[in-house]
Structures are given as structure tokens and as C-alpha cells.
Structure 1
Amino acid sequence: MAKLWIGVDIGKTHHHVAAVDSDGRLVYSRRVANDEAALLTVMAEVSTYGRPVCWAVDVTTGLSALLLTLLWRRQVQVRYVSGTVPFHMAAAFAGENKTDARDAVVIAQTIRMRPDIPILEPSDRLLAELTVLTSYRADLVGQRVVALFRLQELLTGISPALERAVDLNRKAPMMVLACWQTPDAIRHAGVDRITALLRRGHVKNAVQVA
């Protein structure tokens, strides 16, 4: 089975994961949500392409906490590629201008070519910090789920048709409901006012959504 080196460009809500083989060929590239189920899916997908030698991240703060915790639970070797390293290494690889996808590839190529990149060890202090961060995140997710169920219940009591018409997991409906909570109020607001509200919130396709 081929050996793989996996680089991850860390983001707030999404990461980009790229894997290269021993010849430097890109065999996997995907944008993934910073979510446990999504990250576990990517880990499983990567393993179908070969045997990971190690993973590497460019951030060790709370943004990468969930990913690092999941990797260390599986006793996966993780290396830390500081932001300056891929910046200088990028010139060695042809490709488009700076993107998350390209940065992930550069990180993967860097750890393939440079075995001196330091291993990120899960110290007791770091593990404790990650545990706090992931526990806090789990609490927030749980609170959000409870709040959405409660809001769905309230909307059903006001208008079952309205509850069926909106997706509470999307930004635009939540913005509208924060201002107008009944069908009459929404109709009275009109398309123009709703469109203006959504545009202020930088919602794509505001007119169609309104």
C-alpha cells in the first residue's frame, strides 16, 4: 500500500485536507467542515488511498483542537508546519495563486520532503486544553440543537406552514425570523425590506431568498 503524507490548512469553520504519495503526486484533496463526523469521514477516505505516514497542521490553537484530538485518539503522528515554512516552500511547487487547497498541498509536500519537521506531541497541558475546547464545543452544539427544536416548536404553534417553509439551519431564515415572526408580519414587511435585510447580512441571492 502506498505511503501518504497529509497536510491540513486549518480554518475557522472549514479545513482543507490534501494527501500526496511518495512520488509527490496529489492523490486526495477536499474541503471539510470543522465537524467531528465530517473529519472522521475524511480520515477514513484518506486511508483508502494508502497508509498515512503522518499528518501535518499549520495551526495548533483552538481552531485545530477537534482535528488534533481525533488524530491523537487514533495514535496518528502529527507534525507542526509553522506558517512561514509553507510560505517559503510554496515557490518550489507550481500551481495557482495562494488558496487553501494549495496551502494544504504545500504542507503535505513539506513533510514528505523534510523529515526534520517537528512532531507535535500531545503534552498533558495541551491535551487538557484540547479537552476543554472540545467539551465546550460539544456543549455549544448541544445548546444549538435544543434551541432549534424549541424554535421549531414555537413556529409550529404560530404557523405549521411557516415552520415547513423555513430551514432553521440556514442564515437567511434566522435573520428574517429575528425581525418578523408571523406570516402576516413577513407579508407586511414585503420583498424589498426583506431583501435589504438579507443584503446587509451578506446573504447570497438575497432577492430570490426574499
Structure 2
Amino acid sequence: MFPEHDTVDVFIGIDVGKTDHHAVAIDRTGKKLLDKPLPQDEAKLRALINKVTGHGRILVVVDQPATIGALPLAVARDMGVMVGYLPGLAMRRIADLHPGEAKTDARDAAIIADAARTMPHTLRSIVLADEQAAQLSMLCGFDDDLAKQATATSNRIRGLLTQIHPALERTIGKHLDHPVMPALLEKYPGPAELRRAGQKRVATFMRKYAPRGGNAWAADIFEALDQQSVTVAGTDAAGLVLRQLATQLAQLRTSREEVFEQVEKLVADHPLCDLLMSMPAVGVRTAARIITEVTGKHFETAGHLASYAGLTPVTWRSGTSIRGDHPSRKGNKVLKRALFLSAFAALKDPVSRAYYDRKRAEKKKHNQALIALARRRCDVLFAMLRDGTFYTTPTTPEAPIATAA
């Protein structure tokens, strides 16, 4: 049940848009009080809420709580109005229950308002993000974009090297995550340039970035160069592209480091930092994602949080032919990925490793065991956030994975 739903007198459903929204307001009996388009403008939003203020307590519900829906929620909060959101998938399913097949902003806004009035269980509570969480959300999203671009650029470099000199790719590719390799390709972007520079000069250059491995890696590179004597068509053009890609990769990684410094500072300043990072394998980026995706939202139980994160199994049963539990494909994918990767990193923790090994002994595959571990850790996370307590390690082998004490 949506908190304090019984005290609401007016339900405003807003179908948000980039430049224009559409709002429908109805009272508790279902009577339509307002139905109008409005621009993405603070003054107009305030005027709309003021227009129905005399009818009682108001609940504003949107279908997108972030990006284009952020301003309506911020205005409502500033005016002391309750806010919530209706997930897009739930809205589409509810829309199928209404007559008509039209897809208009007015119809969608009316569906949101009516769902808020009659189906409070479909709504999600929102405590609008504070400044720290808002900044973290933007920075983490940008960091995700940078990570994707860096991965794509690395793959493009590997692809080009494989095309023109496979042996060289096998040597450089396995160390491409080290800063020395992009710097090397930026200065000597092809087999011909490397040969002209010579092993001694290349080793000297590489030692600036990799003092310990520079000499050995330079020897491996020239050993790889000796394995191919022919020049593949397009090698010269590939050199031009490789130099640009190497520069781009180095810039992307520098940008990620700068963003990470800001994320680290914001997480360190957040009240939940010490609590979240007391849990094994919860680092800065995982803590940041928990802050942006979990805090400020209301979850009745640990199961609700796990469902929101997409960590609850889905049972498929139909007669005797289809039986089994399968991973959910729904939920918050950003949070699910963060918790999954955190669970993978937690395999170094003895308690988490013991739980993972127990699931493997039950004939579960690697990913299934990791999802089970992520779900178990999600339960602990819920208890920690609910009680405001730090993670404590079990003292006996048979104890649960962890307790919040």
C-alpha cells in the first residue's frame, strides 16, 4: 500500500514529456477536476497545483521520476505535496484494462491518475533525491557512458591489430588495460613504426609508464613482430586510426579517473557511506549506486527490495511440461548489475564464499550461485538500511551470511 494513500483527496497524474506535459486531476470519487496540457515550466506547474489545492490533500504521480520528470516532482516537493511514480510497465498493463486503443498524452495522464486512486499497490513512493544523491546519479550515469565508450574503443583497437598483425594483438591486447599500451600506440601506431623505433627505444619509452614490466613487454612486442614478415593491405590506414583510437582511449580513462574522484568525495560525505562500505565488497562505485537507486525509496520488506533489483527468481509452471525457476528479466538493471558485481567480488570473503560453494554443491551454475549470493546480500543490505546498523560477520560456521547489529 502506498504510504498515507487514505489521506489523499486529489490525485494528479502527469504524463511527462521533454517540452510539454499533460496533467489530469481527479478526486477520491473519480470526478475529473482538471485535464490540460502544460509546458515544462515551473510557474505553470505551480499554478496547476494551486488550482486544485482547495479540494484537499494532493498526490502528484508521474510515469518517469528522473530526467524529464524531475522538475514536476521538485516543484511538488517544494510546495509540500506528496509525490509518487507509476512504473512504465505497470502503466502499460493498466492501460490495457481501459477501453480504447488510442495512445495520447491525455489518456495516459488519466490512466496514471486513476491508477493512483484505485490501485495504490502499483505506485512507488519517492523521497526526492538530495543534492548529493542527484549529483551522484548524474556522475554515475556519465561514468557508465565513459566505461561503455572505453570498452568499445579497446575492442576496436584489438580488432584492428588482429586484422593487420594477430601476433602483435596477442601481446598488446592482454595489457591494453595498462596506460602504457595506449601511450605506445599513440607514439608508434603500427608494426612499421615500432620496428623503426627499435626495441631499445621502445623499452625506454615503456619504462616511463611501466617501470617493472617495460623491458619484458618491449621484448614480447618485438618477438611478436618477428612472427610476421608480410604487410597486410590497409596497414598504413590502420596506423592512422590506431593513433586516434589510442588517444581517445587515454582521454576516456582520464575522464573516468576525474569523475571517480568526484564520486568518491560525494560518497565519503554521504551519511550512509560508512554503513554501506562496512559490507564486504561494497566499494565506492557500488555504494554510489546503492545511494542513487535505493535510498529515498520505500520498501516494505527485503523481498520488495530484491524484486526491485531483479534478484528474485520467477517460477514457470505449466502442467507437467514446463517447470522451474528462472532469473527475472525485470527490475532495476543498474542496481542488479551493481549488486551482482559486488557479489562476485565478495567471493574473497570467507562467509560469502561458503554460501556460494554451498549453492554450487546444490548443482547450481556459476551465475545462478552468484545471483543467489547477491539476493542473500540484498537481504542483509535491507536490514542494514532499515535499522541503520553496520555489517557484522557471523561468529559461527552455521550462522547466516551476515547480520546487521
Superposition pairs of residues 40-55 of structure 1, within 5 angstroms: 40-48=46-54, 50-55=55-60
What is the one-letter code of the residue matched to 1:7?
G
- C-alpha change, 1:113 and 1:16, in structure 2 (3 Å) is same
- 1-structure distance, mates of 2:52, 2:90: 24
Q: CA deviation at 1:96?
A: 6.1
CA deviation string 1:36-74 (max 9, x = no partner): 1111111111224x2244110001222122211111112
- 1-structure distance, mates of 2:81, 2:135: 19
Name the larger-Rg structure: 2
Superposition pairs of residues 1-210 of structure 1, within 5 angstroms: 3-48=9-54, 50-95=55-100, 97-116=102-121, 117-124=123-130, 128-129=134-135
The residue matched to 2:99 in structure 1 has which SS? coil
What is the one-letter code of the residue matched to 1:15?
H
- C-alpha change, 1:41 and 1:8, in structure 2 (3 Å) is same
TM-score (norm 1): 0.55
The residue matched to 1:105 in structure 2 has which SS? helix
- 1-structure distance, mates of 2:104, 2:89: 15
Give me the CA root mean square deviation: 2.4
What is the one-letter code of the residue matched to 1:29?
D
Q: CA deviation at 1:19?
A: 0.9
Q: CA deviation at 1:129?
A: 4.3
Extract structure 1 runs of 4+ deviating beyond 6 A.
none
TM-score (norm 2): 0.30
> Which structure has more strand as a fraction of its residues?
1
- C-alpha change, 1:36 and 1:113, in structure 2 (3 Å) is same
CA deviation string 1:20-44 (max 9, x = no partner): 1222232211100001111111111
What is the one-letter code of the residue matched to 1:8?
I
Alignment match, 1:144: none
The residue matched to 2:125 in structure 1 has which SS? coil
What is the one-letter code of the residue matched to 2:62?
V
Q: CA deviation at 1:128?
A: 3.5
- C-alpha change, 1:44 and 1:3, in structure 2 (3 Å) is same
- 2-structure distance, mates of 1:123, 1:68: 10
The residue matched to 1:78 in structure 2 has which SS? strand
Percent identical pairs in the alignment equals: 33
- 1-structure distance, mates of 2:86, 2:75: 18
- C-alpha change, 1:40 and 1:129, in structure 2 (3 Å) is farther
- 2-structure distance, mates of 1:121, 1:28: 25
| Higher RCO by CA contacts (8 Å cutoff, separation 6 or greater) | 1
- C-alpha change, 1:20 and 1:95, in structure 2 (3 Å) is farther
1:95 and 1:102 in contact (8 A); partners too = no
The residue matched to 1:92 in structure 2 has which SS? coil
Q: CA deviation at 1:109?
A: 0.6
- 2-structure distance, mates of 1:22, 1:15: 23
The residue matched to 2:102 in structure 1 has which SS? coil
CA deviation string 1:64-114 (max 9, x = no partner): 222111111122111110111121111333356110000000000111112
- 2-structure distance, mates of 1:56, 1:41: 17
1:26 and 1:105 in contact (8 A); partners too = no
Alignment match, 1:171: none
The residue matched to 2:96 in structure 1 has which SS? helix
- 2-structure distance, mates of 1:46, 1:129: 33
